[in-house]
Structure 1
Amino acid sequence: MCLYIDIAMLAMSFLNDLYSSVNVVPFVAAVVGLLFLYWYQRPKNFPPGPRGIPLLGTIPFTGKYVERAAAKWSKHIYGPVMALRLGRDDVIVLNNLDSINKALVKQHTTFSGRPRNAFIEDVVKGGIVFVEGNFWKSQRKFGLLTLRGLGVGKKSMEEYVATEASYFNEAVRSENGKGFDISTLLHKAISNNICSVIFGKRYEYDDKEFEVILNRFVHVFDDPLSAAAARMVAFSPYFKKIPPFSFAQYKFLKNSAITAKFVKDIVQEHRDSYDQGNLRDFMDAFLKEQQAGGSEDFSDEQLLHYISELFIAGTETTSSTLNWALICLLHYPETQRNLRKEINRVIDAYGNVCMYHKPNMPYTNAFIQELMRYRTLAPLSVPHKTTESSELNGYFIPKGTTILPNLWAVHNDPDYWNEPDKFKPERFLDNDGQFVSSNHVIPFSVGPRHCLGEQLARTEIFIFLISLLQKFDILPDPDAKELPDINGGTGGLACVPNPYRVSAKEL
């Protein structure tokens, strides 16, 4: 205690001496000036962009949707390649397709790294999303080959997805046309598809443990407050120790631990019943690599994180896309009529939905492509990082710089799209009513690090949407006073619909 008092007295004596020997006002002004000079400095020929205020950067000025603010500043002030200070660090935001292709495709070896910060380090110890270098390459190659071997992109996976869609439709039918929360059912159904691939099993919709696990991690994306807190901590990791963000961080880590325990128990079950001559799923394929002992990349920890990432990403992304699809149907009922007319023409009300029907359904293809443009699920994609210094659009990009591809800006560029704020599937139909694919719609990103599960997601979206509309008319909840919000969303790391309810009238 005496030591603390002595230190305090020394500090007061120093300040008194300082005050008596110098004019305090110019001294303070000089210190503040130096701090601001430090805050505003950037490397030579670095991309232009707003710096905001010390410690927070532009976070107070971006609002709920960082991607929309960045797109606006890019269009009116800074250009397509701009620097945005989020928290204490500068990130480079790429706001048009040309700059994204130049970085992620033409210079993919330089722009394929992944940033690490205190928020990521707390959660990610391996997996596939935030790893890089040769380790990422080996895991990506293994993932692609294994998923292909398990039927992803093949008829066998289509059949499994169609079977799960029939279970989902039965659950919808059991609601008897009353208003209900369809998003919960979608999470369970879509999760069962990825569970069949990685765990070799599906879960009943009333399975309590399965429901608890889904609710745990879905809450991070679906709850507006949790999503906002996660965004803040991801951009400024030091906030994870400051309330209320610390509470959100604690909850996120707790939910991650519970999910990890769920996966770990399944891993142990697989170890106990493993048969090298009968590989059942992704997990068994990983155990085979592990037991071969040819690479340290296939560790116990890596298996846990790889499976957990596939489980979470394979559930949330596709189910949220389908939720946005249903909300669009409620706001634009004529699109539902057009879809059903095409379904009846190509498949009929009782036929099995298969991917080979897709090329003959131009309006359906247009609807899905417009859906992915209009409601960009991952507005800023997954962050990249430069692995060495480079040049982009004439600007110097130092090694280790975080890169954010602004997919939302590409999908809402008024210089390319006519009325981008409106949902118009017809924009992807030619004069003969044929579907026109667009390389300006990139929901799964581009380059070597584009989404690993793209094929499975496209299969699920098509089969679930069409099989549902074969059998039900999707209507607003009769007890709701207004339609679900179509312009907002949680505004977190993913743009997930706010909670909503529908009524499904059987046809």
Structure 2
Amino acid sequence: MDSFFSFLGSYIAWDVKSLLLFMIVFILSADYIKNRRPVCFPPGPWAVPILGNMFTVNHNRVHESLIQLGARYGDVYSLRMGQVWMVVLNSFEALKEALITQGDSVTDRPDLPLQDDLFQRRDIIFNNGNIWKQQRRFALSTLKYFGLGKKSLESVIRDEFTHCAKVFSDYKGKPFNPHLTLNNAVSNVICLLVFGHRFEYSDERFVKLMKMFDEALQIEGSIWAQFYNSFPSLMRRLPGPHHKFLDIFNDTKEFIAEEVEQHKQKWDPSDPRDYIDCFLNEIEMNKGQSDNTFHEEILVLCVLDLFVAGSETTSTTLRWAFLYMAKYPEIQEKVQAEIDRVIGQSRQPSMGDRANMPYTDAVIHEIQRMGNIVPLSLPHITSKELRLGGYVIPKGITIIPNLASALFDKNEWETPFTFNPGHFLNKEGKFVKKAAFIPFSAGKRVCLGENLARMELFLFFTCFMQSFTFSMPAGVEPVMDYRPGITLAPHPYEICMTVR
């Protein structure tokens, strides 16, 4: 009897092993059949079953990994993240062909579960179709109404610089970290347009938001976000930094909702003060319309888009600017000499000065190029089949535009990996903007805040250069490597700012 039970146990054990083996073979076979590269699809590295190319890419240096893979597989190649096929575009020519020449076919955004769980497809940036068109058009016209591109906004930026400069001057040339104050100053410009008021640098809640944004953008560019977007059902149940990301932005949504409530208490439809007031007007005027996209929930999410996008990228670019000026004092001196010659010290800069300041304009553009703030822009998705780089890209494929490949394309720039303002100057010393300079992306999805960012960068940078000289603390060399995230920021640093 004992031998019978022993035999039975052994049989059952082998049967379980056989079942497990069968299941593994079945899952791997099904994954292979389901996720085979389509005919005429771009080539790419071999994908691990289930996970795809999740670990092919270095998630701390994603755009560099994608450029390296492009050297092996071509300017148009494919990757698989989990169950999602992606086509990566490397080089300016590939980006131009996709985003501009065939831009109508890649205008839409793909489903990104991390962003979808936050925005529910009701914002501007991660939306498609009628909502995206209506809200983008409304945002552009409203921001223009409140001063975007006008002299009235110039005075807002210069006034904010004055507040910021006062704080920086108080350090009397001693080392300090400019990060949070600079973030607050830049944020106040979009806050004035959206909320109708600025926030004091001592406002603890606002400073906390600035700190949280910094953390959230690091998480959004990490492997945790990629896992969430590839396996959302699993990741929603697993602990990790991805939940912190959602918590941060849910807190921000509450902050914005409170601002909206305060606006409603003093709202006068005949005298709109800012973007929120104008949106409240649209809510009233569009009630009952079948294609209405103006609702209070959408207002909060659109403000969140404008608030974050209008704060982070410009302030990060300026932090890079401080570092580059400290690293290259001879370039800093030439910028200051041009400012002294064109503007002097008796007045603040204006946008009208830019045409007479080609070297300063070239330095700002080179800071943007080398800073490479948003190297992968945001993903697109094909709305129909198209041919790209000799390959057939089916409908529903995610497109990753590697903007860094254009900004460092050796076919477009003389010294792509060296800080060289000459990239934007002709032989006569006049400013020339190259087509491959696309830090704001290109096509119909070009950055909504490009004009605001360009104005802020010129005015803030020239005001700082007019008023201060930048240097590193004694014995400290500037660290020019970036900190990974959805935006590439410099590592935390301290700098000395001496009043001129």
Q: TM-score w.r.t. structure 2 length?
A: 0.91
Match of 1:106 among 101, 109, 125: 101
Aligned twin of 1:83: 78
Query: What is the 5 A alignment of 1:317-356?
Result: 317-356=313-352
Give the CA deviation at 1:296: 2.3
Please name the residue that 2:476 is paired with: 482
- Across the two proteins, how many residue pairs are aligned to each other? 487
Partner of 1:109: helix, strand, or coil? helix
- Offset from partner CA, 1:381-433 (integer Å, 9 cap, x none): 01111122222223221221111111001111123222311111122212221
Task: Confirm or deny: 8 A CA contact 1:477 1:503 kept in the other structure.
Answer: yes
Deviation by residue 1:246-293 (Cα, 9 ceiling, x = unmatched)? 321121111111111110000001111110111100111111111102
Residue 282 of structure 1 aligns with an amino acid whose one-letter code is: Y
SS at match of 2:104: coil
Deviates more, 1:225-234 or 1:81-90: 225-234
2:14 pairs with one of 12, 16, 30: 16
Q: Could you say if the C-alpha distance between residues 282 and 114 of structure 1 is closer, same or farther in structure 2, counting changes exceeding 3 Å?
A: same
Q: Percent identity?
A: 34
Alignment correspondent of 1:254: 247
What SS does structure 1 have at the residue aligned with 2:278?
helix
Q: Deviations over 1:11-61 (max 9, x none)?
A: 9976634779x9x99x79965873673376111111111133233333323
Q: Give the one of 136, 161, 164 matched to 1:168.
A: 164
The amino acid of 1:110's aligned partner reads: S
Aligned to 1:44: 39
Instruction: State the distance in 1 between where 2:10 and 2:305 align.
Output: 54
Could you tell which deviates more after superposition, 58-67 or 104-113? 58-67
CA, structure 1 residues 291+36, in 2 after alignment: closer, same or farther (shift >3 Å)?
closer
Paired AA for residue 411 in structure 2 = D
Aligned to 1:129: 125
Q: Which of 181, 206, 212 lines up with 1:210 in the alignment?
A: 206
Other-structure match for 1:263:
256
| Partner AA of 1:82 in structure 2 | Y
- Aligned partners of 1:186, 1:368: CA distance in 2, in Å? 17
Aligned equivalents of 2:246, 2:391: Cα separation in 1: 38
Contact 2:67 2:90 in 1 (8 A): yes
Aligned-pair RMSD on alpha carbons? 2.4
Match of 1:492, SS state, is coil
Distance in 1, matches of 2:107 and 2:375, equals: 18
Which residue number in structure 2 is paired with residue 7 of structure 1? Answer: none
**Unaligned 5+ runs, structure 1:** 1-9
- CA shift in 2, pair 1:30/1:86, >3 Å: closer
Long gaps (5+) in structure 2: 1-7
Q: Could you tell me how far apart the structure 1 residues matched to 2:365 and 2:118 are? A: 33
Q: CA separation of 1:425/1:73 partners in 2, compared to 1, >3 Å: closer, same or farther? A: same
Distance 1:340 1:149 in 2: 34
Distance 1:130 1:369 in 2: 27
Contact 1:198 1:307 in 2 (8 A): yes
What is the distance in 1 between the residues matched to 2:95 and 2:31? 32
Moved more, 403-412 or 63-72: 63-72
Find the aligned partners of 1:263 and 1:17 in 2 and give their Cα distance: 59
Kindly state the Cα deviation for residue 369 of structure 1 after the two structures are TM-superposed.
1.4
Q: What are the within-5 Å matches in structure 2 for residues 11-410 of structure 1?
A: 16-17=14-15, 31=26, 34=29, 37-38=32-33, 41-63=36-58, 64-75=60-71, 77-125=72-120, 126-221=122-217, 227-233=221-227, 236-238=230-232, 240-241=235-236, 246-293=239-286, 294=289, 295-410=291-406
- 1:504, 1:432 → 2: CA distance? 33
2:4 corresponds to: none
Alpha-carbon distance change, 82 to 275 in structure 1, aligned in 2, over 3 angstroms: same
Instruction: Give the Cα separation in 2 of the matches to 1:118 and 1:247.
Output: 15
